[in-house]
């Protein structure tokens, strides 16, 4: 059992020992506080007493866990643990409310950087039947890791060798995912992943494809190339992912002007605005079109 918890929570044996102690202490503290509160309120009849006691346990326990975790240095773990717990409860509640309208959808986000597009996608679907079931990243220090932790979404850190020459992490990806969404993910998607999710992997590119795409064309490299070419406009392209860089069928495009005296950073800011505006609703449209 303990080995299973270590693997599930990805903690050392000593840290697991601390976590279990915190659970025990927080449970005792919760019971004590709840009993004191019920006694203060002067509830005597057994049924109201039990109902109030259970309600207070539910409210006090998360606060007790976070409080007890502080001196043990485990506050970040329990903050993430509680966020995931509440997200699961909220997800089940949302699924129950929307079940009459159809089956809920699941998406997996792949990201390599700060994760601003990922955050917009998460926010867009926060109160819908669509859930972000997993986030995948290839950098342990990227901003997307903090987003996954804060949102309580399972995060999978991948490494190059296994991704490109192994099983592409297929056994660890959400098998029920309806769509894989690349949001600033800089690695090329390997063939096993494309074959496992045919026409269910989408990417957003910061230019108007088919121009300014291909290997090495990402971020400021794209914007610099657009400015050097003298183009009058740039934009975004949302497209399906196939076996080549920026080559899959185009789903949606939106344009913005290239202004006189533009810099890569200035153009990037307008491109980001287009990405945040159009990527989430385009993903929603694709999910709605699926059987």
Q: Which residues are catalytic?
A: 205
Q: How far apart are CA 155 and CA 193, in angstroms?
A: 18
- Output Rg (C-alpha) for the chain, integer angstroms: 24
Residue 211 DSSP class: T
Q: Mention every residue, 6+ apart, whose C-beta is less than 8 A from residue 202.
A: 179, 180, 181, 182, 238, 239, 240, 241, 251, 282, 283, 286
| Helix, strand, coil percent content, the chain, rounded in steps of 5 | 55, 15, 30
Q: Mention every residue, 6+ apart, whose C-beta is less than 8 A from residue 280.
A: 120, 121, 123, 124, 125
Question: Across-strand partners of 107?
Answer: 132, 179
Q: Which two tokens stand for residue 222?
A: 């794209």
Neighbour-count burial of 83, counting CB atoms closer than 10 A to its CB (0-12 exposed, 13-18 middle, 19+ buried)? middle
């Amino acid at each position: 059992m303990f080995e299973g918890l270590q693997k599930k929570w990805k903690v050392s044996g000593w840290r697991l020992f601390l976590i279990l102690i915190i659970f025990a202490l927080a449970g005792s503290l919760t019971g004590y506080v709840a009993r004191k509160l019920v006694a203060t309120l002067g509830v005597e009849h057994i049924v109201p007493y039990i109902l109030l006691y259970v309600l207070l346990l539910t409210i006090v326990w998360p606060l007790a866990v976070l409080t007890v975790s502080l001196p043990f240095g485990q506050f970040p773990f329990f903050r993430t643990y509680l966020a995931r717990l509440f997200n699961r409860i909220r997800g089940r509640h949302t699924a129950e409310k929307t079940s009459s309208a159809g089956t809920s959808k699941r998406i997996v986000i792949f990201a390599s950087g700060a994760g601003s597009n990922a955050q917009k996608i998460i926010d867009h679907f926060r109160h819908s039947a669509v859930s972000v079931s997993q986030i995948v990243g290839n950098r342990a220090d990227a901003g997307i890791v903090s987003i996954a932790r804060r949102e309580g979404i399972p995060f999978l850190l991948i490494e190059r060798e296994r991704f490109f020459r192994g099983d592409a992490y297929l056994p660890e990806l959400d098998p029920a995912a309806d769509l894989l969404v690349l949001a600033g993910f800089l690695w090329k998607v390997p063939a096993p992943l494309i074959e496992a999710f045919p026409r269910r992997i989408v990417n957003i590119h910061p230019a108007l494809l088919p121009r300014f795409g291909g290997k090495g064309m990402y971020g400021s490299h794209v914007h610099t190339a657009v400015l050097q070419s003298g183009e009058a406009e740039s934009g975004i392209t949302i497209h399906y992912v196939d076996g080549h860089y920026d080559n899959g069928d185009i789903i949606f495009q939106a344009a913005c002007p290239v202004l006189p005296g533009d810099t890569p950073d200035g153009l990037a800011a307008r491109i980001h605005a287009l990405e945040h505006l159009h990527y989430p609703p385009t993903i929603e449209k694709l999910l709605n079109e699926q059987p």
